[in-house]
Amino acid sequence: MCRLRDGMTLPAIGLGTYPLDDDEAERVVAGALEAGYRLIDTAMTYGNETGVGRAIAHSGIAREEIFVTTKLPGRDHGYEQALASFEGSRRRLGLDFVDLYLIHWPLPRLNQYVKCWQALIRLHEESVTRSIGVSNFTVEHIQRLESQTGVLPSVNQIEMHPALPQRELRAFHETKGIRTQSWRPLGQGGTLLADPEVVGIAARHDVTPAQAVLRWQTQLGSVPIPKSADPRRQRENLDIFGFELTDDELSRISARSPHRIGGDPDDHEEF
């Protein structure tokens, strides 16, 4: 478990649900919860909050044991729009509260993310979300939130993998007490996981290449949220705490050609 700046605790690894639809999400999340996952990540734009909520409702697991994250879409940027969007997400999930609510992308062209953040602060004060954070925000975006509201996010969920280790942003997070979460934590999957360096490091620890990369994530202080619909891979992805990579191995896994897979937060638009 990882402690957040607001006192909440976050599981050290979670399950991503993009791009599952409602029916797929219900099946996959149900299996993941049975396998031991307690952090489930979704978003309004994924179109699967209803399925995620059904899986949680039917799991038989106490609600307080499951950490649920969802996100505000770009189409709902603005103060009142964000409040209404959150209620829509909460209704689809069928939950009394959300554990972590994030602004999905900053969309700087719209210049509304500070108003969105003010809405999230209100939601946190009303205890309908236990933690608030952002996703795909840069240092400059976060500094603006702090300077205009005095409130820092508990989490910044970013694209992070060995070809994009986000050193400068992670160092900034560390100085501010912000927890890094990583989406696309295995990069482009096959290419990275077939890399001879990664394969060799994994073999030395008698683990899979995916396990080695996910352990790289956690040892760097990030909370990875890999998506897998395969029950075997789900269990493998959870089983990453029985070994430790050396400093040299961490460095060698990081030694990839720099490559961003997703959008650039300074100009990416998601609605």
Give residue 160's pLDDT.
97
**pLDDT number for residue 100:** 98
Q: What does pLDDT average to over the chain?
A: 97
The whole-number pLDDT of residue 255 equals 87
Burial class (CB in 10 A: 0-12, 13-18, 19+), 112: buried
CA 28/CA 20 separation, integer angstroms: 9
Query: Choosing from 37, 46, 101, 113, which is the catalytic residue?
Result: 46
Q: What is the pLDDT of residues 99-125, one digit of tens each?
A: 999 999 999 999 999 999 999 999 999
2: nearest Cα among 133, 136, 162:
133
Three-state SS sequence of 76-116: HCCHHHHHHHHHHHHHHHCCCCEEEEEECCCCCCCCCHHHH
Residue 41: DSSP 8-state: E
What is the spatial distance between Cα 4 and Cα 155, in angstroms, rounded to a whole number?
A: 8
46 carries an active-site annotation: yes
Kindly give, in sequence order, each residue whose CB lies less than 8 Å from that of residue 236, ignoring residues fewer than 6 positions away.
208, 210, 211
Fold annotation for 2-186+222-227: TIM Barrel (3.20.20)
Q: Of 74-88, 163-177, 188-202, 229-243, where does mean pLDDT reach its minimum? A: 188-202
Q: Are 57 and 69 in contact (CB under 8 A)?
A: no
Q: What is the pLDDT of residues 136-185, one digit of tens each?
A: 999 999 999 999 999 999 999 999 999 999 999 999 999 999 999 999 99
pLDDT digits (tens, 9 = 90+) for 193-207: 999 999 999 999 999
**pLDDT tens figures, 27-62:** 999 999 999 999 999 999 999 999 999 999 999 999
Domain extents in the chain: 2-186+222-227
Q: Which residue has the tokens 């910044």?
A: 156
Residue 189 pLDDT greater than 80, yes or no: no
